[in-house]
């Protein structure tokens, strides 16, 4: 698969790859879309490719024409791992977003693109072989960069108004059992207070404050606006996937509190 990006120089002192960063990498597909990293790696971000097939995604991640995007690794459905950008370089995978009050997420993260058609082209469960490869690669990365479990997150967590990946079918619980990411058992759906877009008041302010503590880029305004609904949706995709609707129901609120208590 390394021929998908042929024609680009292999990185050397200017940031090009001399070889894979991980022994799990099967081939290199160097992307020209990267620049200097300004700070140490503290986040590992999971994406899905959201394209019809893996080769189309790989070509896109190596395309020098706008919009220029890339990632550090692509994990195919059969478990094959391809590296596109050296870890010491800032790949252009996360775009505009924030986490724990800081933007330029790309500057402090490594991005893994997991081949899956995504919500646009037929979202489906991730194959066991693929998830096994993702877990092995992620464990290798977090060990080398000392990334804490709380630093393993999804693309939609950093950009909730723009992104849905890796989505509600991604097995976050499995990863957390292997030391990758935070997880608490989702509180079952139940009757109780719930809040939705258009409402305002102290309970909304409290909800927004809790979501901000969890890391989300939400303003504490006391108004359940479109941004708040998008952030609640992203939280549900990751931590309470049984119902993803942007409504802060009792289950969502309790799961959020449990997550914060477990940090």
| Residues designated catalytic | 113
Give the separation between CA 52 and CA 50, rounded to whole angstroms. 7
Residue bearing tokens 């890391």: 215
**All residues at 6 or more sequence positions from 113 whose CB lies less than 8 Å from its CB, including other chains:** 47, 48, 49, 57, 61, 71, 73, 74, 75, 93
Give the separation between CA 229 and CA 245, rounded to whole angstroms. 8
Q: 44's torsion region: left (phi>0), alpha (psi -120 to 50) or beta?
A: beta
Give the separation between CA 256 and CA 235, rounded to whole angstroms. 8
């Amino acid at each position: 698969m390394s021929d998908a990006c042929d024609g680009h120089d292999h990185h050397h002192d200017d940031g090009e790859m001399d070889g894979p960063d991980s022994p799990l990498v099967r081939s290199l597909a160097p992307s020209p879309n990267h620049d200097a990293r300004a700070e140490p790696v503290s986040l590992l971000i999971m994406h899905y490719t959201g394209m019809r097939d893996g080769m189309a995604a790989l070509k896109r991640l190596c395309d020098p024409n706008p919009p220029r995007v890339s990632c550090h690794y692509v994990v195919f459905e059969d478990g094959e791992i391809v590296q596109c950008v050296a870890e010491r370089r800032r790949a252009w995978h996360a775009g505009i977003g924030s986490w724990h009050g800081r933007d330029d997420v790309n500057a402090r993260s490594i991005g893994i693109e997991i081949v899956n058609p995504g919500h646009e082209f037929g979202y489906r469960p991730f194959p066991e072989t693929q998830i096994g490869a993702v877990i092995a690669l992620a464990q290798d990365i977090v060990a080398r960069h000392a990334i804490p479990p709380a630093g393993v997150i999804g693309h939609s967590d950093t950009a909730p108004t723009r992104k849905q990946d890796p989505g509600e079918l991604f097995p976050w619980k499995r990863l957390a059992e292997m030391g990758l990411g935070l997880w608490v058992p989702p509180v079952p759906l139940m009757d109780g207070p719930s809040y939705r877009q258009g409402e305002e008041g102290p309970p909304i302010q409290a909800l927004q404050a809790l979501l901000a503590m969890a890391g989300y880029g939400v303003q504490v305004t006391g108004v359940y606006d479109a941004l708040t609904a998008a952030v609640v949706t992203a939280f549900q995709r990751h931590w309470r996937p049984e119902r993803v609707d942007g409504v802060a129901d009792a289950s969502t609120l309790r799961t959020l509190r449990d997550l914060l208590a477990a940090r």
